[in-house]
Amino acid sequence: MEITSLSTSVQIEQVSSKLLQPIYDGDQPVSTTKSVPLTVFDKLADDQYIPSLYAYKPPNPSNSFLEQGLRKVLSEYREWAGRFGEDDNGQIVILLNDEGLRFIEASADCTIDQAIPFTVSTMLKLTPSFEESKELALVQLTRFTCGSVVVSFSSNHIVSDGVLVSQFMISWSQACRGLKIHPRPLHDRNIFVPRNPHSVKFDHRSIEITKRKINEDSTTMPPYSRDDLIHQILHFTPEFIAKIKNKASSSSSSCTGVKGVSSSRYSTFECLIAHLWRVITRARGLSESDKTYVKISVNGRRRMRPPVPHEYFGNVVLWAFPETQGKNLFDESLSHTAEVIHDAVENVNDEYFKSFIDFANKNQDDGNLMPMKVHHMKVPSFWPNLEVQSWLGFPFNNVDFGFGKASVVMPSFDPFEGEIYLVPAVVGDGSIYAHVTLFQQHLSLFKQICYNID
């Protein structure tokens, strides 16, 4: 177990930048579909780019090899080569115009071993700038002096969620190896049909609308600045994860009003987030009376009935918001916290997703149910709350361009205090890396207690 502090940087120079259009086989006609509508889930996604980094040591594919594979796979994933536009009714759509995906080549002035662990500065240089970008996806290939390459893929969240992005990366690697794309993406965004009559059973206005807005009240924010943000990587070994899960499953729970030994077995995700929520709340110095919640993305593909195919191209995400007071995180058991999280996630079920579809269709003209541009905050923070992005189910080891799996897979730097990414270790030993952004003023206490589960 360790905490990795990022402290060194490298020089990265952009060598070339161009647009890549799809390549179509002679027996594969171009679809006559001119545009793709946004669903109620796409409109709820923030207008921001989500970057991911894949590092490959030699031997690895050449840039031209990756480029050709990318052009081939874009024939199946045309949305990434398209642009946002409007239909005849003024609604935002994805234009399938094949204008192209941004493709950037860059070089670094050192070996990848000298650059790892990546600093925030390095991570940002490995990721192409998407300020004012019209492209819906951007790729950057950065070559190091040792021959290693870092593949960066950044995509606009309105177009799809992380589940589809992970599938796209596998499809890209299949195209590079000359394999057929399997499974092929499902492009039908007309599958989320409201019920007749509508049946809105939940207070979506207080959840999906109100809670999507980040608190910027200066009176409740700590007196820190953007310059105080610090990125930490925590390594949780299988042994540590087992201890946390055992503690969460064996400690007494009062969450349901029943004292005694808990018979529930919580997931790895629930136990790790329960632990981190408790630790970060203490490190932040929140009081017993302070309320705090965790924003957790919930994938609706398996939760909806009938299930939405895994290869569906788009967003199928709503959020759970487990909430409690500081005193419960300080005084109650780890099992209590895990149960708060478990119950909140379980409640975002088939009925909840369908209720939201009905709600959104009844309120189609509500501007709060349209994509929101993530603006620059003076102090970018989710304070006193957390936001969690889980990549634990993503099959990163299947992203093999023909030379083996990646040596490193990680998100780029997300400059929001309170943001957490959970990423499985590519070595496949069951360990997990947590990428956490905090204020440096809380780092000392955080380091003291982050591996303490007693």
Task: Quick: pLDDT tens for 178-226.
Answer: 999 999 999 999 999 999 999 999 999 999 999 888 776 667 788 999 9
**Contact call for residues 299 and 163 (beta carbons, < 8 A):** yes
Which residue, among 143, 142, 158, 125, has the nearest Cα to 50 in the 3D structure? 158
Q: Could you tell me the two tokens for 11?
A: 């020089």
Q: Could you tell me the two tokens for 446?
A: 């955080």
Whether residue 5 is predicted with pLDDT greater than 50 in this model: the reply is no
Name the catalytic one among 46, 228, 343, 400: 400
Angle at 48 between CA 97 and CA 236, to 5 degrees: 125
Q: C-alpha distances in angstroms, 28 versus 24, 25, 164, 184?
A: 6, 5, 22, 13
Which residue, among 390, 387, 389, 396, has the nearest Cα to 425 in the 3D structure? 396
Q: What is the pLDDT of residue 31?
A: 66
Q: What is the pLDDT of residue 145?
A: 97
Which residue, among 84, 228, 66, 35, has the nearest Cα to 153 in the 3D structure? 66
Q: What is the pTM of this model?
A: 0.92
**Contact call for residues 233 and 117 (beta carbons, < 8 A):** yes
Higher-confidence residue of 27 and 356: namely 356
How many percent of the chain have pLDDT more than 70?
92
Give the confidence band of 29 by pLDDT, cuts at 50, 70, 90: low
E strand spans, 21-156: 35-37, 46-47, 49-56, 83-86, 92-95, 101-108, 137-143, 149-156
Q: What is the mean pLDDT of the chain?
A: 91
Domains of the chain, each with CATH number or no CATH = 14-177 (3.30.559.10), 226-250+266-398+414-450 (3.30.559.10)
User: Among this protein's residues, is 231 annotated catalytic?
Assistant: no
Q: What is the pLDDT of residue 373?
A: 80
Q: Which residues lie below 8 Å from residue 184, measured CB to CB, with a gap of 6+?
A: 76, 311
**Contact call for residues 385 and 392 (beta carbons, < 8 A):** no
Q: In the block, which residue shows the tokens 């105080």?
A: 228
Give the confidence band of 30 by pLDDT, cuts at 50, 70, 90: low
**For the ranges 38-52, 108-122, 372-386, which has the lowest average pLDDT?**
372-386
Q: What is the pLDDT of residue 336?
A: 96
Average pLDDT estimate for 418-434: 95
User: Among this protein's residues, is 375 annotated catalytic?
Assistant: no
What one-character DSSP code corresponds to residue 14?
Answer: E
Measure the N-to-C terminal CA separation of the chain; round to a whole number of Å: 16
Q: What is the pLDDT of residue 350?
A: 98
Whether residue 27 is predicted with pLDDT greater than 70 in this model: the reply is no
Q: C-alpha distances in angstroms, 12 versus 64, 102, 140, 154, 231?
A: 20, 18, 11, 18, 20
Name the catalytic one among 157, 204, 275, 442: 157
Please report the sign of the dihedral spanned by the C-alpha atoms of residue 396, residue 399, residue 404, residue 406.
negative
Give tens-digit pLDDT for 231-285.
999 999 999 999 999 999 886 444 444 344 444 589 999 999 999 999 999 999 9
Q: Which residues lie below 8 Å from residue 62, measured CB to CB, with a gap of 6+?
A: none
Give tens-digit pLDDT for 331-349.
999 999 999 999 999 999 9
Q: What is the pLDDT of residue 372?
A: 82
- Measured CA to CA, the distance from residue 153 to residue 20 in angstroms comes to 14
Rg of the Cα trace of the chain?
22
Amino acid identity of 430? Answer: G
Neighbours of 263 (CB within 10 A): 8
- φ/ψ of 204, rounded to 5, equals -65, -25
Please list the helix, strand and coil fractions of the chain in percent, rounded to the nearest 5, in that order.
Answer: 30, 25, 45
DSSP states along 101-131:
EEEEEEEESS-HHHHPSPPHHHHHHHS---T
**Contact call for residues 230 and 438 (beta carbons, < 8 A):** yes
What one-character DSSP code corresponds to residue 208?
Answer: I
Give the confidence band of 4 by pLDDT, cuts at 50, 70, 90: very low
Q: C-alpha distances in angstroms, 208 versus 304, 357, 380?
A: 18, 12, 20
Give tens-digit pLDDT for 430-452.
999 999 999 999 999 999 999 99
Which residues on neighbouring strands pair with residue 141, listed in sequence order? 105, 151
Which residue, among 360, 417, 408, 331, has the nearest Cα to 53 in the 3D structure? 408
Give tens-digit pLDDT for 78-93.
999 999 999 988 899 9
Whether residue 7 is predicted with pLDDT greater than 60 in this model: the reply is no
Provide the 3-class DSSP secondary structure of residue 67: helix
